[in-house]
Copies of this chain bind each other. A is one copy, B any other.
Amino acid sequence: MKKDEVKIIPLGGLDKIGMNITAFETDEDIIIVDCGMSFPSEDMLGIDYVIPDITYLIYNRERVRAFFITHGHEDHIGALPYVLKQLNVPIYATKLTMGIIEGKLEEAELMDVTKRNVVKYGDIIETGDFKVEFIRTNHSIADAAALAITTPAGVIVHTGDFKVDYTPVYGEPIDLKRFAELGNEGVLAVMCDSTNVVRPGFTMSERAVGDRIDKIFADHPKNRIIIATFASNVDRVQEIVNAAQKYNRKVIIEGRSMVSIFDIAQKLGYLEVPDNIMVDIEEIGNYTDEQICLITTGSQGEAMAALSRMASSAHKKVSIFPGDTIIFSSNPIPGNEKAVTKVINDLYDKDAEVIFENTHVSGHACQEEIKLIYTLTKPKYAIPVHGEVRHLKEHAKLCKSLGMDNEHIFVLHSGDVLKLSPKKGKIVDKVVAGEVMVDGLGVGDVGNIVLRDRQSLSENGIMIVVMTLERYGSRILAGPDIVSRGFVYVRESEDLIYEAQTVVREALERCLGSGVNDWGRIKTVIRDTLSEFLWKKIKRSPMIIPIIMEVD
């Protein structure tokens, strides 16, 4: 590389929302911005999480200097416990972000071996060829930061996830002045959040939700109030606590992640909780409806979350009664609509009042906010990030509408290597990038073949045909027996199974009778015969596994 060049390599976060991780590289050094996980897509059966493939970083490990984390959401920090095990470099993050990361490191027993550096807005960290400055932004979690990364090619501003909130609940508005200063000093490229790029206008202030929540409390003085929201939205939780105090209600926190983040945020000073307002859920029975404000997980309809269990009468400590006021302070994340609807229906069926309108605002910038950032920073290049293809391409259109050259806008895919210099930007290479699936403790040991099997098993079940044959001979010593799972009710389909057994036995006898004693060949015949029989009979294709045991 020439001296005035830098490479930008997104290893995730560009083909779908989630799993954000981007490398910045010179000949000497590599730094990484964010290290997130994502949730499995619907075809990844049984998978718990998805983390980025960091083969490229491992390969260049001796040059990797540090992680810079923009904020504490799972899609920006969730893969750290996995990745740190292979690539143990220091982490830089703001206080709350680091607090949440530390919770994860403790669980993964990585606290002792990981260098953690808490930074403040305005801090500049110098590491090799890079200088990284943390800039205050607003988002749906406190302590979010944009990064101004000084590289040999110039300054690259990475917005992280952001919105412009002039009246945030905690702390100050986004540091627009600093963006403007950087613009005056000269910005090479902006990598900007695309999540809401198709929405016109401006995202509402978090404060608007606080006002709405206050109004709901005022309008429901006699009802028990239960509010589901995102555990990590500490400001939202603060607004709910404020309303509870104003209307003389006790606050109960329910749901594992809610309790955990509540504790961290309170300990680090991001949540002001009045004395004597908190009540343990065990004591809920000691208070009347009008005294209770319960803050819970489950806003996404997750089957095992507290609110879902309350709605389906499966929660041990809280039952829903007519007149209960349930607030969803959230929008369904795409893909969760049906699950959320199910919970809402369950709550309606118990004659609770369900409120989900105007009770949430996004944490991401809409079009006018995005335009504001470009107008302040005046970058030469735009690299839309944090979005699906459609968001990135619409983001590119927005940049064009601001007068940017088409050749200066880069819509990348994960793995693309973009080389930037003050004069020129070009995709010069493609490196390994992709999704690594985590299932239980297994990382990457479930791949496409296993998933294809799971898909097939889930749709049609399995039929196991097992038999013991004489080694080198042609006698059937036991079987063939058929065992099925996920195929039919055996009790109701006894005849079918019996017939199948007969079909298999006949095929097996034909094979052995005609002198075939190649077990592989016999298995194929059995699989084909049985498969054909079942399709003809019932139009289904279970997975068929013939197993032959040999005995002398």
Contacts and interface: CB of A to CB of B under 8 A. Distances in A.
A314 interface: no
A350 to B, nearest CB: 10
Contacts of A488: 442, 445-446, 450
Contacts of A334: 337-338, 341
A451 to B, nearest CB: 8
A539 interface: yes
A106 to B, nearest CB: 18
Interface residues of A, number: 66
A458 B454 contact: yes
Interface stretch (A158-166, A370-378, A461-469, A504-512): A461-469
A388 interface: yes
Interface stretch (A149-157, A176-184, A540-548): A540-548
Judged by DSSP, the binding face of A is mixed
A344 interface: yes
Contacts of A487: 450
Given A348-B389, A485-B462, A547-B483, A338 B42 contact: yes
Given A449-B489, A485-B453, A464 B461 contact: no
A488 B440 CA distance: 11
A454 B445 contact: no
Nearest to A349: B389
Interface string A510-548: 000000000000000000000000000111100101010
A184 to B, nearest CB: 35
Given A467-B549, A479-B549, A481-B547, A457 B462 contact: yes
A455 interface: yes
B549 A481 contact: yes
A282 interface: no
Contact of A461 (B46, B389, B447, B493): B46
A198 to B, nearest CB: 10
A31 to B, nearest CB: 29
Contact of A486 (B457, B493, B540): B457
A442 B354 CA distance: 40
Given A45-B458, A468-B477, A540-B439, A447 B489 contact: yes
Contacts of A45: 458-459, 486
Given A441-B539, A478-B550, A488-B445, A461 B468 contact: no
A456 to B, nearest CB: 8
A257 interface: no
A409 B288 CA distance: 31
Contacts of A456: 486
A453 B461 contact: yes
A63 interface: no
How many copies, total? Answer: 2
A449 B393 CA distance: 47
A44 to B, nearest CB: 11
Contacts of A354: 390
Contacts of A274: none
A424 B14 CA distance: 62
A335 interface: yes
A389 B483 contact: no
Contacts of A362: none
A458 B46 CA distance: 6
Interface in A306-336: 334-335
A376 to B, nearest CB: 28
A492 interface: yes
A345 interface: yes
B453 A538 contact: no
B538 A440 contact: yes
A431 interface: no
A446 B346 CA distance: 25
Interface string A22-58: 0000000000000000000110011000000000000
Given A457-B462, A478-B549, 12 more contacts: A42-B338, A46-B461, A345-B389, A445-B493, A446-B488, A450-B486, A457-B486, A466-B547, A477-B549, A479-B549, A481-B549, A547-B547
22 contacts: A45-B458, A335-B338, A348-B389, A348-B393, A440-B539, A442-B539, A442-B540, A445-B488, A446-B488, A450-B461, A450-B487, A450-B488, A454-B486, A464-B464, A464-B545, A467-B549, A477-B549, A478-B549, A481-B549, A483-B545, A549-B549, A551-B551
Interface of A: 41-42, 45-46, 334-335, 337-338, 341, 344-346, 348-349, 351, 354, 388-390, 393, 439-442, 445-447, 449-451, 453-462, 464, 466-468, 477-479, 481, 483, 485-489, 492-493, 537-540, 543, 545, 547, 549-551
Closest 6 CB pairs of A and B: A458-B458, A440-B539, A46-B459, A457-B457, A453-B486, A454-B486
